[in-house]
């Protein structure tokens, strides 16, 4: 990759965040947010502080949307989106499937993204129109698959505790149609792992933009396909993400979209 992108100035900060997340793990303090099962730890907050400080140092006029903070410079046409720790429930339970996402939206279009798998030390990168990379090497989907053999990743929103039945119709339809389902608990890696020839597809309701928008750019640049409930590339307002290897996109999309529980209609 011979280009200079703005995000490259923030690369050391994302690695500093990863180091602090690892250092804080032993005995980490865990708190609940609105839902008892929706967690935040002191490591989420420390990682966020490192990333926000780096962005405001290098790009003081840019906007920032980060999971655990108020939006900064909301009127800017350049906005950094941060998930300082994706997979908080994994992290709180010492399960090493944890990522950091940092990405840039320019005029509402994702243009540059990093997803760092912190325990495997793998950095995924995506640049609009200029490819996807894994630890600096070009990343392309090479996996040949069919819907019957596809490995599908998913996750459930935190209101599953009270509304689990709302999500079962789609889940059951996918279970009946594919080779296997995985729930690994880190949405950014679920999507990057389609680009990385591991998973073949992913869907999730009510995921937040910091969870999957950066990974969606990486996946599309690697040759995959990502849509939201309206059929276009996801935006800040998307309520359903459907991502896949291009080969099964049409079939997978139809399985998900034609099996949505009607209780979700007015929320999509």
Binding residues for ligand IPD, rule: CB under 6 A, are 83, 86-88, 155-157, 185-187, 204, 207, 211
Q: Is the dihedral of CA 127, 128, 132, 134 positive or negative?
A: positive
Distances (CA, A) of 218 to 54, 81, 195, 231: 22, 14, 7, 18
Under rule CB under 5 A, residue 83 binds Ca ion:
yes
Strand partners, 105: 79, 110
Q: How far is the CB of 83 from Ca ion (least distance, A)?
A: 5
Q: How far is the CB of 55 from ligand IPD (least distance, A)?
A: 19
Count other Cβ atoms within 10 Å, centred on residue 63: 19
Q: How far is the CB of 235 from ligand IPD (least distance, A)?
A: 17
Q: Look at residue 68 and give the partner it binds from ligand IPD, Ca ion, none, a contact being a CB closer than 5 to 8 Å depending on partner kind.
A: none
Residue 134 CA to residue 116 CA, distance in Å, equals: 10
Q: Look at residue 62 and give the partner it binds from Ca ion, ligand IPD, none, a contact being a CB closer than 5 to 8 Å depending on partner kind.
A: none
Q: How far is the CB of 210 from Ca ion (least distance, A)?
A: 7
Of residues 131 and 157, the one with the C-beta less far from ligand IPD: 157
Q: If phi over 0 gives left and psi between -120 and 50 gives alpha, with beta otherwise, what is residue 118?
A: alpha
Q: How far is the CB of 66 from ligand IPD (least distance, A)?
A: 11
Q: Look at residue 155 and give the partner it binds from Ca ion, ligand IPD, none, a contact being a CB closer than 5 to 8 Å depending on partner kind.
A: ligand IPD
Residue 10 CA to residue 140 CA, distance in Å, equals: 24
Distances (CA, A) of 232 to 70, 80, 153, 240: 27, 21, 20, 11
Of residues 78 and 198, the one with the C-beta less far from ligand IPD: 198
Helix (H, G, I), strand (E, B) or coil at 219: helix
β pairing state of 39-41 and 109-117? unpaired
Exposed / middle / buried, residue 121 (Cβ in 10 Å: 0-12, 13-18, 19+)? exposed
Of residues 105 and 187, the one with the C-beta less far from ligand IPD: 187
Q: Look at residue 187 and give the partner it binds from Ca ion, ligand IPD, none, a contact being a CB closer than 5 to 8 Å depending on partner kind.
A: ligand IPD
Which two tokens mark 79? 């906005």
Q: How far is the CB of 94 from Ca ion (least distance, A)?
A: 17
Of residues 59 and 216, the one with the C-beta less far from ligand IPD: 216
Q: How far is the CB of 137 from ligand IPD (least distance, A)?
A: 25
Contact call for residues 98 and 18 (beta carbons, < 8 A): no
Binding to Ca ion in span 33-72, by CB under 5 A: 67
Of residues 67 and 200, the one with the C-beta less far from Ca ion: 67
Of residues 83 and 200, the one with the C-beta less far from ligand IPD: 83
Footprint of Ca ion (CB under 5 A):
67, 83, 85-86
């Amino acid at each position: 990759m011979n280009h200079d992108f703005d995000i490259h100035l923030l690369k050391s900060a994302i690695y500093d965040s990863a180091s602090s997340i690892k250092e804080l793990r032993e005995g980490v303090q865990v708190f609940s947010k609105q839902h008892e099962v929706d967690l935040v730890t002191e490591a989420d907050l420390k990682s966020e502080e490192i990333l926000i400080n780096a962005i405001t140092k290098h790009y003081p006029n840019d906007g920032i949307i980060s999971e655990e903070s108020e939006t900064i410079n909301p009127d800017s046409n350049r906005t950094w989106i941060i998930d300082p720790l994706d997979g908080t429930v994994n992290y709180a339970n010492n399960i090493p499937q944890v990522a950091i996402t940092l990405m840039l939206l320019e005029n509402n279009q994702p243009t540059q993204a990093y997803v760092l798998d912190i325990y495997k030390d793998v950095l995924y990168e995506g640049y609009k129109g200029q490819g996807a990379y894994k630890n600096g090497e070009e990343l392309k989907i090479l996996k040949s698959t069919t819907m019957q053999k596809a490995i599908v990743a998913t996750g459930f929103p935190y209101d599953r505790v009270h509304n689990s039945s709302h999500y079962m119709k789609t889940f059951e339809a996918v279970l009946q149609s594919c080779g296997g389902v995985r729930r690994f608990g880190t949405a950014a890696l679920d999507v990057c792992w389609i680009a990385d020839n591991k998973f073949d597809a992913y869907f999730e309701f009510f995921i937040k933009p910091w969870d999957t928008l950066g990974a969606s750019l990486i996946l599309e640049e690697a040759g995959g396909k990502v849509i939201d409930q309206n059929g276009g590339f996801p935006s800040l307002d998307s309520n359903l993400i459907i991502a896949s290897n291009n080969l099964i996109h049409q079939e997978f999309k139809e399985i998900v979209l034609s099996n949505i529980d009607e209780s979700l209609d007015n929320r999509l």
